[in-house]
Structure formats: C-alpha cells, structure tokens
C-alpha cells in the first residue's frame, strides 16, 4: 500500500522559484568563454580556471540535493507532530539555494564583465535568500495540520519479563540486545565519507589542509556504520555504535531511579538523529519516535530510542526492580 504524503508539497514553491531563477540566470548569461575563473584568492584574484559548466553543474546539483533533503525532513516533521508547530527546518533549503543563486547571479555578471578581479555583491546574495526565506515562512504558517496515525506494536512482554526475572533469581548471566540500524545510516556512513575522501584527494595537490580536513571528516563519519546497539546486563546498560562497537554510553543499572516509555518528536524535540541534547535529557537514537526514558543520578535524564521500546523497558525495569 502506498504511503500518503502528509506534508503539502505547495510549501516548496518558493525554493522552486529560486531554482528557476538560478537556471534562468545561467541560460540568460550564455554563451560563456571556454575557460573562466573558478576559484579566487582572498583578494578576488583568479587562481584556477576551467569550464563555467563545472561550477553550474555542481551548483544546480547541490540545489536539487538540498531541496530533496528538505522534502524528506518536512515530511518527517509533519508525521512526527501531534499539533501544528512551526517547522524551522523548512527554511534551510530556501536560504542555502537562495545564497547559491545570489552568488551565481553575481558570478555570471563577473564573467561577462571581463573584469580580472572578482568583487562579491552582497545585495543579490541577501535579497534572493531573504525573499525566499520570508515567503517560505509565510507558506509554513499557512500549512494545515494533518494528523498522522502511528502504528504501535503493543507486544506481549510477560514472557520476556518472566525469563529475565528467572535469570536474575538464578544469578545466571544474560545479555539483552536492542538494535537500530536504518538504511540511511549505511548510506551516510559509506557514500558520504567516500565523496569526502575523493574530494580531499582531488584538491590535495593545491590545498593540503582543506584536503586533510575533508579526509578526516570522511573517516569520522564511518564510525556509526552498523547502527546503534543497546546492551542490557544486570550490572549496566551500554550503547555502542558502528561495527567497531564504539561506546557512546555506559550506565550502571544501580544509578537508574526509574524507567518509563516516552514518545518524542526527533526533529522538534532534538533537532535530528544520533546523540542529541535538550534542556531536559540526553538522547540516543537513529530512527522512530518512541523510546525508554531513564531517570538517573546524573543531572539529565537519558532517552534511548528503540524499535521495540516495550521490550527494552521490560528488561530494564526487571533488572532495576530485582537488584
């Protein structure tokens, strides 16, 4: 069965208009010389030349990418909200694509001017990005709230609880695993690092430090590959990331005061996925909107996202209540 789109697509009209301005400005300024400045020093002096379509292709490609990401984020926001709330994320693609469009308008004017020194025009930059963001904010205010019914899996956990209690009474060791490994994690931790490493390799000859930063960032992004694994034993709760088992949380069960199921909005409450913070708690999750909230001896509560939060809660409560 096809999933219904919750977030109205007409809210993306402003950024699509900006994309049209971007493409229109490129076409209107054509034809271009065979070789044009592609990179400039801090003083505006060109230090690398090539085809203008190299820059235009990258700019249009990035614009489409940011718009696509915004479509996904806005749909997630709409599915997660329980009442109408302003989605600040919806402005990101308007601002970013607007800035790239403003720069492109300025850049095409520079190419056709025949000048040897590039001077950035902030007017185009601010006007296009600002107008797009304001119009997008108006559209977001007009966006209607559409309720999304979440499918809850109310599993029978009585058997699991009895099994855990038996292990505890018999003092036999056990480990309960809870795993989250969504497809987007594999995508981001394989292809994005690969792109960064390739880009670093390409610019290595001319710009060593930026190349090293790109390569290092690419290597760091591989750490979550393999997802999140929560391990519960009678003594502790350990959260590990990636195939290498990088430990991101180690909590003694004796430090847990209480545990309860918690529904949350990843984007609204925490601004994304992964290891997140807000004024109330520290959270660990890669997907979903449900988890287990732990009150501990620390200053903040801990939220562990789970695909089977009832099972995770049952194990934690059994461990903390019978210790």
pLDDT tens for each residue of 126-170: 899 999 999 999 999 999 988 877 665 666 787 888 888 888 888
The rounded percent of the chain whose pLDDT value lies above 90 is 53
Predicted local confidence at residue 153, as pLDDT: 61
Cα–Cα dist 307/290, whole Å: 8
Asked which of 141-150, 178-187, 196-205 is least confident by mean pLDDT, the reply is 196-205
Residue 155 DSSP one-character state: -
Q: How far is CA 142 from CA 82, 137, 269, in A?
A: 17, 9, 22
Cα–Cα dist 133/14, whole Å: 8
Q: How far is CA 302 from CA 66, 111, 236, 286, 315, in A?
A: 32, 55, 14, 15, 16
Task: Kindly give, in sequence order, each residue whose CB lies less than 8 Å from that of residue 180, ignoring residues fewer than 6 positions away.
Answer: 227, 228, 285, 286, 287, 288, 305, 306, 307
pLDDT of 203 higher than 80: no
Predicted local confidence at residue 1, as pLDDT: 41
Report the Cα 210 to chain-centroid distance in Å: 23
Contact 107, 39 (CB under 8 A): no
pLDDT of 2 higher than 60: no
Tokens 């070789």 locate to: 35
Cα–Cα dist 193/23, whole Å: 29
| Rounded average pLDDT over 24-52 | 86
DSSP string, 275-307: EEE-SSEEEEESS-SEEEEEEESSSSEEEEE-S
pLDDT of 18 higher than 50: yes
pLDDT tens for each residue of 85-132: 999 999 999 999 999 999 999 999 888 887 778 887 788 888 999 999
pLDDT tens for each residue of 257-284: 999 999 999 999 999 999 999 999 999 9
Q: Mean pLDDT over all residues of the chain?
A: 89
């Amino acid at each position: 069965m096809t999933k219904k789109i919750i977030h109205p697509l007409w809210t993306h009209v402003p950024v699509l208009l900006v994309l049209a301005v971007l493409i229109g400005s490129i076409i209107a300024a054509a034809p271009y010389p065979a070789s044009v400045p592609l990179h400039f020093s801090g003083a505006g002096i060109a230090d690398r030349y090539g085809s203008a379509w190299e820059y235009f292709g990258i700019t249009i490609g990035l614009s489409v990418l940011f718009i696509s990401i915004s479509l996904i984020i806005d749909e997630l926001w709409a599915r997660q909200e329980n009442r109408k709330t302003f989605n600040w994320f919806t402005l990101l693609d308007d601002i970013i694509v607007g800035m790239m469009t403003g720069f492109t308008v300025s850049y095409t004017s520079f190419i056709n001017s025949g000048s040897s020194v590039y001077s950035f025009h902030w007017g185009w930059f601010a006007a296009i990005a600002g107008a797009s963001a304001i119009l997008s904010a108006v559209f977001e205010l007009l966006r209607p709230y559409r309720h999304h019914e979440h499918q809850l899996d109310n599993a029978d956990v009585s058997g699991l609880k009895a099994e855990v209690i038996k292990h505890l009474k018999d003092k036999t060791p056990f480990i309960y695993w809870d795993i989250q490994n969504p497809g987007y994690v594999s995508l981001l931790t394989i292809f994005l690092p690969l792109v960064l490493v390739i880009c670093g390799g390409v610019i290595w000859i001319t710009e060593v430090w930026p190349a090293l930063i790109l390569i290092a960032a690419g290597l760091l992004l591989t750490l979550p590959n393999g997802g999140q694994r929560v391990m519960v034993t009678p003594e502790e709760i350990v959260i590990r990331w990636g195939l290498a088992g990088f430990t991101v949380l180690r909590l003694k069960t004796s430090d847990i005061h209480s545990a309860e199921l918690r529904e949350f909005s990843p984007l609204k409450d925490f601004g994304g996925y992964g290891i997140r913070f807000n004024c109330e708690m520290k959270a660990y999750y890669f997907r979903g909107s449900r988890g287990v909230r732990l009150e501990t001896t620390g200053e903040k509560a801990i939220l562990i996202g789970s695909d089977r939060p009832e099972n995770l809660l049952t194990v934690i409560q059994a461990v903390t209540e019978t210790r």
